């Protein structure tokens, strides 16, 4: 139980599972209800049980009620269900099993059993007198085939092993089928089948398949395992099978035992024996109580069986040198994961062996270490096509690391095996694999030879010997703030700052220009006032014009010295009189003599000052 | 006499290098390694890391020393760390590949984006990101004021901005989107379903196997929760695994490795 998988074979559990499965199926796809009944035998003996099986198809939820039959005890034993899907149509059926025990000799008839509108035919049987008493189940004996005998004949459980061939070659995989049989009224815990024999290797026993079968008119639940065996030694061999099982069942106890109970209760039979030979009163009372179910019985048994096979060796004649004992039919294919690598980069060589046979003996001589490549130990995996299948694919993978630049050729891989169908040896070979190896991409590997950087044990050394050590392997705090937040903040600043700065610069420049203009205007005006007080008309007019030119230069967008009366007239309409006079008189002062004393210079300067204030406010 | 003089000359010539080797932990490690004393070499290289900081050649040599001493776990940890520092250093990659083949260990799975991000180290991505950010800021400012060559400045700004985005994405993928990877360093470790010794075993992690730390509450009183290669979540003793990306300085010699050959 600890190391082997124990399968609990219980019809009631199976019924529950299948019942659960069938309840999930829409009722519309179920077939109509049908009912059928059959008796395991129509010749019975008084006190012995026969099996009545009532099969309900369609509406399996209904429990059949078996009408009572005088002189016959009918007790339910259990039920089993099965589901069949044919061409997409689902049908289910339930077998209700009853024990039928006649209590007296003679013919009896089980009336029709009805489920809805469906009903069975009446069943007729005959009971002979003198049934045997129930006996305890016998423990399995070592003779094959073995089983446990239930009351009423037959066997409660037994096993069979069947090897598909009478003769096999050493190493040849031979299909084998193992089957265990159990009566429907028996629960069993089943251990894994044992096929322990040094002459055979057992491989890939499938999970058991449960079915129901009839053997010599008796219903049985069966469990079937399939797999392969590989003979290892030549000669005649018995293939012994052992299946450990724990059985549980109940049996009908015969009625006469009840008279003993009454006698024990009353301390003896006060009526004594019938002098006419008809038996005592207690015997009569006991026979009226009928049979009853006894206590649960159990037994741990080992089901045994054996089959015989003759094993012959593969012929020595024509045996190839690389033959490792593989027997079967195989094919061979090889591939590499890349055709171009750099020195030091691994290439994976994959070889697939596919077919049927003893894959445990399929071994390949893969690539070996060489001057231009280092080959590592290959690894293999076996992938059966399906569980318990003889056909499979065995895949060999090997890593090969080129150690020198150039063309690397991986030699063909060969497989020799014996084909039992053709009765001859076969040798297969793959194509050679060609790989272009370029020099390494960095540091000393540029030299093209790994051995230059690899000591004798093949471990490489770093070429960046002058690297400056660092304090941490992660020179930043790996958080969203540092990785995303900081650059985003800086970029946002960079995008928003220029317009603000440009606006600020322009405002500052404007203020600075205004202050400069105001200062120059004040200076020229002060000079004009001094000249006016001194009576210097020319200097007064020139200073007044200069002050006006400075004031107008920003408004007209021109250099101050370049502004003429014509420019002013073109932009200002009308031209203020002091402005015109200042330009005309200053121009006259530049190019001609000014008339003396025609103007009050101080008053003129005051008008220009007022004009400048007016222009400033504009 | 001439022979004696020649020998003395040779000794004098070799003296500086011998003295250097004796003073320098890496030099002492090389001497120990060449003499086949790989445990001693590993200890010296650990000291070199502790005193000088992380360095690719020292990490590769440390991995080699551990591997030669039969400790696949610490060896793979050292080589993985070397690859963090220098992803394109062939020595660490070749040694890792070989060790994984020999020990039948799978390389950590990585998406194409993660492989692309691992082409450069974190430092290199940071440098690219920093330079790109500076160029972006300068070009963008200059674009705001310049009256000439504005198209060139805008182009520079866009290109450097893409550089920033690329570096940020690589750093994000390489450090944040993946779970912190740890290497099993302490022999074969039994991963359990809960963080206590009696809990049901989930898997056995081989020395050198790389697994990911799992979830935010992944540490519990001396246990770390990891995600195995087949996606199972399990707890392992905290001392049995070490993170590849160490934030701090190298810790120096690892006393447990002296007592755990074959880890």
Higher pLDDT: B232 or A79? It is B232
Q: Do A494 and B141 touch (CB under 8 A)?
A: yes
Q: Is the pLDDT of residue A453 over 60?
A: no
pLDDT of residue A139: 34
pLDDT of residue A352: 93
B217: exposed, middle or buried (Cβ count in 10 Å: 0-12, 13-18, 19+): exposed
Q: Looking at the complex, does the CB of residue B89 fall below 8 Å from at least one CB of chain A?
A: yes
pLDDT of residue A263: 53
- Return the top range by mean pLDDT from A446-450, A474-478, B63-67: B63-67
pLDDT of residue B167: 92
Q: Is the pLDDT of residue A252 over 90?
A: no
- Is residue A59 within 8 Å of A33, Cβ to Cβ? yes
Percent of chain A with pLDDT over 90: 7
Determine phi and psi for A258, rounding to 5 degrees: -65, -30
pLDDT of residue A173: 78
Interface test with B, best of A381, A447, A462 (most B CBs within 10 A): A462
Render pLDDT for A461-517 as a digit per residue (tens, 0 to 9): 776 666 778 877 777 766 777 778 888 888 888 888 878 888 888 889 888 988 898
Q: Is the pLDDT of residue B118 over 60?
A: yes
User: Residues 194-213, chain B: which have Cβ within 8 Å of A?
Assistant: none
- Distance of alpha carbon A231 from alpha carbon A325, whole angstroms: 11
pLDDT of residue A591: 76
State how far the alpha carbon of A319 is from the alpha carbons of A422, A425, A430, B204, in Å. 14, 7, 20, 45
Q: Is the pLDDT of residue A7 over 50?
A: no
Nearest CA in chain B to A343: B94
The whole-chain average pLDDT of chain A stands at: 75
Determine phi and psi for B159, rounding to 5 degrees: -65, -45
pLDDT of residue A390: 65
- Distance of alpha carbon A136 from alpha carbon A115, whole angstroms: 37
Nearest CA in chain A to B83: A473
A274-283, A390-399, A565-574, B117-126: least confident range: A274-283
Determine phi and psi for B39, rounding to 5 degrees: -60, -45
- Return the top range by mean pLDDT from A491-505, B9-23, B69-83: B69-83
Number of A/B CB contacts below 8 angstroms equals 159
Residue B231 gets the label, from left (phi > 0), alpha (psi -120 to 50) or beta, of: left
Q: Do A459 and B172 touch (CB under 8 A)?
A: no
Q: Quick one: pLDDT band at residue A103, thresholds 50, 70, 90?
A: confident
Region B72-98: what's the mean pLDDT?
Answer: 88
pLDDT of residue A257: 47
State how far the alpha carbon of A295 is from the alpha carbons of A135, A183, A250, in Å. 13, 18, 6
pLDDT of residue B117: 87
Q: Is the pLDDT of residue A138 over 90?
A: no
Nearest CA in chain B to A499: B144
Taking contacts as CB-CB distances below 8 angstroms, the residues of chain A near B64 are: 459, 461
- Is residue A201 within 8 Å of A254, Cβ to Cβ? no
pLDDT of residue B162: 93
Q: Quick one: pLDDT band at residue A283, thresholds 50, 70, 90?
A: low
pLDDT of residue A451: 38
- Is residue A437 within 8 Å of A382, Cβ to Cβ? no
Residues linked to residue A404 through DSSP beta bridges, in sequence order: A449
- Return the top range by mean pLDDT from A18-32, A162-176, B38-52: B38-52
pLDDT of residue B247: 65
Region B147-151: what's the mean pLDDT?
Answer: 81
A102-111, A554-563, B13-22, B176-185: least confident range: B13-22
Q: Is the pLDDT of residue A268 over 70?
A: no
Where does A156-217 show beta strands of DSSP type E? 157-163, 167-169, 174-182, 187-190, 200-203, 209-215
Half-sphere exposure of A283 (CA within 13 A, CB side): 8
Alpha helices in A51-151 (DSSP H): none
The whole-chain average pLDDT of chain B stands at: 79
Region A120-143: what's the mean pLDDT?
Answer: 57
Q: Do B123 and A344 touch (CB under 8 A)?
A: no
> A74: which 2 tokens?
């009918």
Taking contacts as CB-CB distances below 8 angstroms, the residues of chain B near A475 are: 122-123, 126
Of A457, A467, A501, the CB nearest to B55: A467
Higher pLDDT: B60 or B216? It is B60
Nearest CA in chain A to B96: A459
Q: Which of A165, A190, A188 is nearest to A242 (CA)?
A: A190
pLDDT of residue A289: 54
State how far the alpha carbon of B259 is from the alpha carbons of B36, B243, B253, in Å. 18, 21, 12
- Distance of alpha carbon A291 from alpha carbon A251, whole angstroms: 10
Where does chain B show beta strands of DSSP type E? 181-184, 189-192, 201-205, 210-213, 219-220, 223-227, 233-237, 241-243
pLDDT of residue A450: 38
- Distance of alpha carbon A582 from alpha carbon A256, whole angstroms: 158
- Distance of alpha carbon B134 from alpha carbon B127, whole angstroms: 11
DSSP A40: S
- Distance of alpha carbon A13 from alpha carbon A133, whole angstroms: 31
State how far the alpha carbon of A598 is from the alpha carbons of A255, A537, B95, in Å. 167, 10, 108
Of B101, B137, B145, the CB nearest to A346: B101
CA-based R_g, chain A, Å: 57
Nearest CA in chain B to A475: B123
From the centroid of its chain, how far is CA A70?
Answer: 62
- Distance of alpha carbon B38 from alpha carbon A391, whole angstroms: 50
Angle at A576 between CA A574 and CA A581, to 5 degrees: 125
pLDDT of residue A326: 87
State how far the alpha carbon of B93 is from the alpha carbons of A106, B29, B82, in Å. 93, 22, 9
Helix (H, G, I), strand (E, B) or coil at A179: strand
Q: Quick one: pLDDT band at residue A331, thresholds 50, 70, 90?
A: very high
Query: How far B84 CA sits from the closest chain A CA (Å)?
Result: 7
Q: Quick one: pLDDT band at residue B98, thresholds 50, 70, 90?
A: confident
Taking contacts as CB-CB distances below 8 angstroms, the residues of chain A near B145 are: 498, 501-502, 505
Interface test with B, best of A373, A458, A483 (most B CBs within 10 A): A483
- Distance of alpha carbon B83 from alpha carbon B100, whole angstroms: 15
- Distance of alpha carbon A40 from alpha carbon A53, whole angstroms: 8
CA-based R_g, chain B, Å: 24
Render pLDDT for A144-158 as a digit per residue (tens, 0 to 9): 334 445 444 457 888
Q: Do A491 and B172 touch (CB under 8 A)?
A: no
Q: Print burial letters for A210-237: b (CB count within 10 Å at least 16), e (below 16).
A: eeeeeeeebbbbbbbbbbbbbbbeeeeb
pLDDT of residue A524: 92
ipTM score for this prediction: 0.71
Region B220-242: what's the mean pLDDT?
Answer: 84
- Is residue A282 within 8 Å of A288, Cβ to Cβ? no
Which residues have C-beta within 8 Å of that of residue A301, sequence separation ≥ 6?
A: A139, A140, A146, A148, A157, A244, A245, A246, A247
Q: Quick one: pLDDT band at residue A254, thresholds 50, 70, 90?
A: low
Which residues have C-beta within 8 Å of that of residue A161, sequence separation ≥ 6?
A: A176, A177, A178, A179, A195, A239, A241, A305, A306, A307
A548-557, B36-45, B62-71, B171-180: least confident range: B171-180
Q: Quick one: pLDDT band at residue A253, thresholds 50, 70, 90?
A: low
Residue with tokens 């940890």: B77
Taking contacts as CB-CB distances below 8 angstroms, the residues of chain A near B161 are: 491
Residue with tokens 């405002």: A507
Q: Is the pLDDT of residue A32 over 90?
A: no
To the nearest 10 degrees (0 to 180), the angle between helices B25-34 and B56-68 is 30
Q: Looking at the complex, does the CB of residue B172 fall below 8 Å from at least one CB of chain A?
A: yes
A85-94, A541-550, A595-604: least confident range: A85-94
- Distance of alpha carbon B173 from alpha carbon A328, whole angstroms: 53
> A27: which 2 tokens?
């009722």
Q: Quick one: pLDDT band at residue A426, thresholds 50, 70, 90?
A: very high
- Distance of alpha carbon A582 from alpha carbon A545, whole angstroms: 6
pLDDT of residue B128: 92
A93-102, A185-194, A584-593, B4-13: least confident range: B4-13
- Give the CA-trace dihedral at B131, B133, B135, B140, to 10 degrees: 180
Q: Quick one: pLDDT band at residue B145, thresholds 50, 70, 90?
A: confident
Nearest CA in chain B to A464: B57
pLDDT of residue A81: 65
Q: Quick one: pLDDT band at residue A13, thresholds 50, 70, 90?
A: very low
Q: Do B247 and A461 touch (CB under 8 A)?
A: no
Region B213-234: what's the mean pLDDT?
Answer: 77
Report the 10 Å Cβ neighbour count for B166: 15
Interface test with A, best of B98, B170, B180 (most A CBs within 10 A): B98
To the nearest 10 degrees (0 to 180), the angle between helices A486-534 and A601-617 is 160
- Is residue B263 within 8 Å of B71, Cβ to Cβ? yes
- Is residue A201 within 8 Å of A264, Cβ to Cβ? no
Q: Do A469 and B54 touch (CB under 8 A)?
A: yes
Q: Is the pLDDT of residue A443 over 50?
A: no
Q: Do A494 and B53 touch (CB under 8 A)?
A: no
Helix (H, G, I), strand (E, B) or coil at A567: helix
Taking contacts as CB-CB distances below 8 angstroms, the residues of chain A near B67 are: 459
Q: Do B90 and A440 touch (CB under 8 A)?
A: yes
Q: Is the pLDDT of residue A198 over 50?
A: yes
- Return the top range by mean pLDDT from A56-70, A85-99, A124-138, A439-453: A56-70
pLDDT of residue B63: 93
Q: Quick one: pLDDT band at residue A60, thresholds 50, 70, 90?
A: low
pLDDT of residue A541: 87
Q: Looking at the complex, does the CB of residue B61 fall below 8 Å from at least one CB of chain A?
A: yes
pLDDT of residue A415: 92
Higher pLDDT: B257 or B205? It is B205
């Amino acid at each position: 139980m600890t190391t082997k998988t124990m399968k609990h074979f219980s019809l009631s559990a199976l019924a529950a599972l299948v019942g659960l499965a069938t309840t999930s199926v829409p009722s519309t796809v179920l077939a109509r209800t049908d009912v059928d009944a059959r008796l395991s035998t129509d010749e019975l003996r008084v006190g012995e049980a026969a099996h009545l099986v009532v099969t309900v198809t369609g509406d399996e939820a209904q429990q059949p009620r078996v009408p009572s039959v005088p002189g016959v005890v009918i007790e339910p034993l259990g039920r089993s269900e099965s589901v069949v899907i044919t061409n997409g149509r689902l049908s289910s059926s339930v077998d209700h099993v009853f024990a039928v025990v006649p209590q007296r000799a003679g013919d009896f008839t089980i009336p029709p059993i009805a489920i809805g509108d469906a009903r069975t035919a009446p069943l007729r049987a005959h009971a002979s007198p003198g049934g045997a008493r129930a006996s305890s189940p016998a423990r399995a004996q070592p003779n094959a085939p073995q089983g446990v005998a239930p009351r009423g004949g037959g066997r409660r459980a037994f096993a069979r092993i069947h090897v598909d061939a009478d003769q096999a070659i050493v190493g040849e995989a031979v299909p084998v089928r193992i089957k265990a049989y159990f009566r429907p009224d028996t629960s069993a815990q089943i251990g894994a089948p044992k096929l322990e024999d040094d002459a055979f290797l057992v491989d890939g026993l499938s999970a058991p398949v449960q079915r129901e079968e009839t053997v010599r008119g008796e219903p049985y639940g069966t469990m079937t395992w399939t797999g392969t065996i590989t003979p290892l030694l030549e000669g005649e061999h018995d293939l012994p099978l052992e299946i450990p099982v724990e059985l549980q069942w109940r049996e009908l106890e015969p009625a006469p035992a009840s008279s003993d109970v009454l006698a024990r209760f009353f301390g003896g039979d006060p009526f004594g024996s019938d002098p006419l030979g008809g038996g005592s009163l207690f015997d009569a009372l006991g026979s009226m109580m009928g049979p009853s179910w006894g206590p649960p019985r159990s037994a741990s048994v080992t089901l045994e069986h054996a089959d015989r096979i003759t094993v012959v060796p593969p012929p020595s004649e024509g045996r190839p040198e690389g033959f490792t004992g593989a027997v079967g039919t195989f094919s061979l294919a090889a591939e590499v994961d890349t055709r171009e690598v750099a020195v030091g980069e691994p290439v994976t060589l994959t070889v697939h062996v596919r077919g049927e046979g003893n894959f445990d003996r399929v071994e390949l001589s893969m690539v070996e270490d060489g001057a231009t490549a280092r080959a590592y130990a290959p690894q293999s995996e076996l992938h059966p096509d399906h569980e318990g299948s003889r056909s499979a694919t065995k895949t060999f993978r090997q890593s090969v690391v080129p150690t020198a630049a150039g063309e690397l050729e991986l030699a063909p891989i060969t497989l020799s095996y014996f084909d039992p169908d053709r009765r001859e040896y076969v040798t297969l070979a793959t194509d050679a694999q060609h790989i272009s190896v370029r020099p390494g991409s960095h540091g000393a590997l540029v030299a093209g030879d790994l051995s230059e950087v690899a000591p004798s044990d093949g471990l490489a050394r770093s070429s960046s010997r002058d690297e400056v050590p660092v304090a941490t392997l992660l020179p930043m705090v790996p958080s969203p703030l540092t990785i995303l937040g900081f650059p985003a903040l800086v970029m946002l600043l960079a995008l928003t700052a220029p317009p603000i700065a440009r606006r600020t610069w322009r405002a500052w420049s404007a203020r600075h220009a205004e202050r400069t203009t105001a200062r120059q205007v004040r200076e020229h005006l002060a000079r004009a006032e001094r000249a006016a007080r001194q009576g210097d008309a020319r200097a007064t007019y020139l200073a007044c014009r200069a002050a006006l030119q400075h004031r107008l230069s920003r408004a007209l967008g021109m250099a101050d010295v370049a502004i003429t009366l014509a420019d002013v007239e073109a932009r200002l309409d009308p031209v203020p009189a002091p402005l015109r006079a200042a330009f005309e008189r200053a121009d006259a002062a530049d190019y001609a003599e000014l008339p003396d004393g025609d103007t009050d210079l101080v008053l003129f300067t005051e008008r220009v000052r007022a004009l400048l204030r007016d222009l400033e406010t504009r | 006499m001439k022979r004696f003089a020649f020998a003395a000359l040779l000794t004098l010539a070799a003296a500086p290098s011998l003295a250097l080797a004796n003073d320098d932990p890496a030099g002492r490690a090389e001497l120990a390694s060449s003499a086949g004393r790989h445990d001693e070499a590993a200890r010296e290289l650990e000291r070199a890391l502790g005193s000088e900081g992380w360095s690719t050649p020292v990490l590769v040599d440390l991995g080699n020393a551990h591997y030669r001493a039969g400790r696949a776990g610490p060896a793979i940890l050292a080589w993985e760390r070397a690859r963090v520092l220098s992803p394109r250093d062939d020595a660490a990659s070749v040694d890792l590949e070989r060790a994984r083949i020999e020990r039948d260990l799978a390389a950590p799975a990585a998406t194409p984006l993660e492989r692309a991000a691992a082409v450069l180290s974190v430092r290199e991505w940071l440098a690219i990101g920093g330079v790109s950010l500076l160029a972006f800021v300068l070009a963008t400012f200059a674009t705001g004021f310049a009256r000439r060559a504005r198209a060139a400045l805008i182009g520079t700004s866009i290109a450097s901005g893409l550089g920033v985005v690329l570096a940020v994405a690589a750093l994000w993928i390489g450090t944040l989107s993946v779970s912190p990877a740890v290497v099993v360093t302490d022999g074969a470790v039994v991963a359990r379903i809960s963080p206590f010794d009696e809990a049901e075993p989930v898997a056995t992690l081989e020395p050198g196997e790389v697994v990911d730390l799992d979830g935010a509450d992944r540490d519990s009183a001396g246990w770390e929760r990891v995600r195995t290669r087949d996606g199972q979540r399990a707890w392992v003793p905290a001392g049995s695994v070490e993170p590849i990306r160490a934030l701090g300085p190298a810790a120096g010699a690892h006393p447990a490795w002296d007592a755990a050959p074959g880890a």
